[in-house]
A and B are shown apart, each in its own frame.
Chain A
Amino acid sequence: MTKCPLGLVYRSMCIRTLKSIWNKQSTKNYVIESIKRSSGNLKPIVVIDDATKKAECFIANADLTDFELYTDMLLCRKIETIAEYAITKHHIQTSNKSKIEKEKFTTINEKRNYMHQELETKDEKEFNKFVKEL
């Protein structure tokens, strides 16, 4: 059975992913198959542009063969608030950094870019240096 692609995240209200992942046909095929398996997976797919950090929505068409644009500005805006988190997390998870480093910096990334909390100066510097090396 095909595993869920890394970076394709199934949430309660949507599926979110990055444009670089969404552009792969295998990702679209996976989502179509997941909808056929469970109708609960039929929900908006919010795609974050890796470069601009802007989001756009898609939904599967009626035949479950492809996707079409779907307008939900509110959902897009919500996801854009964590675009940095999603992009950085994907970079960390796909990097060849050690398990320990991945654990540490995904947690810091969550604090900084998901919960939008201020980091201590030392952590901020260390995090920025780590991300730059990815």
Chain B
Amino acid sequence: MTRFLFGSSAGGHVATPVTIANGGTGQTSAQAALDALAAASGSLVQGDILIVDASANLVRLARGTDNYVLTMNGSNPNWEAASAGVSLSGDNTWTGTNQFQDEVSISAGDCLTFELSTRTISSGAITGNGNSISVDTEASASSDDLNQADFSGSAVSGSVFYLKAFNDGRTVVVKDGISGTGEFLGSGDFSLDNGQDVIAFSAFYGLTNNYEVSRSDNL
């Protein structure tokens, strides 16, 4: 039997919708049509999704269990338990702030974690922002004292950091035992007098003190 559908020219939809029993939806709008079909299926519930099966039929895939992920299993997607970890291959880049809360180990290859940053002394102090810091004098003075390095905002207790002079022409004197947040506790003052001088500290004691680890200089 041939069926004829008559629609109004103004609204673009049929005047008398075809019922679901006759292959229509019984509705006059898209959302209502989808809702009507879902209800008519008798089995779709919240969280279910529709997929295409091997016979090109639209079939229901029941919602997955909590914390399951949708994974392809042959030609069909399937809800499966998430694996314990993610294995990445190839080159990957993380941007933004990322935190590893448990152990991190490098099984092969190189691991370079220190990136030299530059800090300029302001009123005898710098704010720590990395493990390897090149320190410049305030207003490019020929010499300046560095009394504290405050790591309280960007480090965890025990973090190790290295200081070197930004420039051979500007001497930075790291001073021992000047009280304040990020004070240095070591074996005396140390002039970062040339490009070969380096001093290392560990930020400890609630990040309020920096304990000297070692210093490297010649004469």
Contact = CB atoms under 8 A, between A and B. Distances in A.
A37 B140 contact: no
B188 A40 contact: yes
Interface in A1-37: 1, 3-4, 6, 9-12, 16, 34, 37
B199 to A, nearest CB: 10
B219 A38 contact: no
A11 B189 CA distance: 8
B20 to A, nearest CB: 83
A103 B140 CA distance: 10
A3 B144 contact: yes
B217 interface: yes
Interface stretch (A56-64, A65-73, A106-114, A122-130): A106-114
B190 A10 contact: yes
B173 A93 contact: no
Given A37-B177, A92-B169, A103-B168, A11 B191 contact: yes
Interface residues of A, number: 32
A93 B169 CA distance: 7
A93 B142 contact: yes
A11 B217 contact: yes
Contact of B188 (A10, A103, A110): A10
A117 interface: no
Given A41-B188, A43-B188, A102 B142 contact: yes
Contacts of A81: 219
Interface in A65-96: 78-79, 81-82, 92-94
Given A3-B173, A9-B193, A37-B175, 11 more contacts: A4-B145, A4-B175, A11-B190, A37-B176, A38-B177, A40-B187, A43-B188, A93-B169, A93-B171, A99-B140, A99-B169
30 contacts: A3-B145, A3-B173, A4-B143, A4-B175, A4-B189, A6-B171, A9-B191, A9-B193, A10-B189, A11-B193, A12-B190, A34-B175, A34-B188, A37-B176, A37-B178, A38-B188, A40-B187, A40-B189, A78-B219, A79-B219, A82-B219, A92-B169, A93-B169, A93-B171, A94-B142, A102-B142, A102-B169, A103-B167, A114-B218, A114-B219
Interface of A: 1, 3-4, 6, 9-12, 16, 34, 37-43, 78-79, 81-82, 92-94, 99, 102-103, 105-107, 110, 114
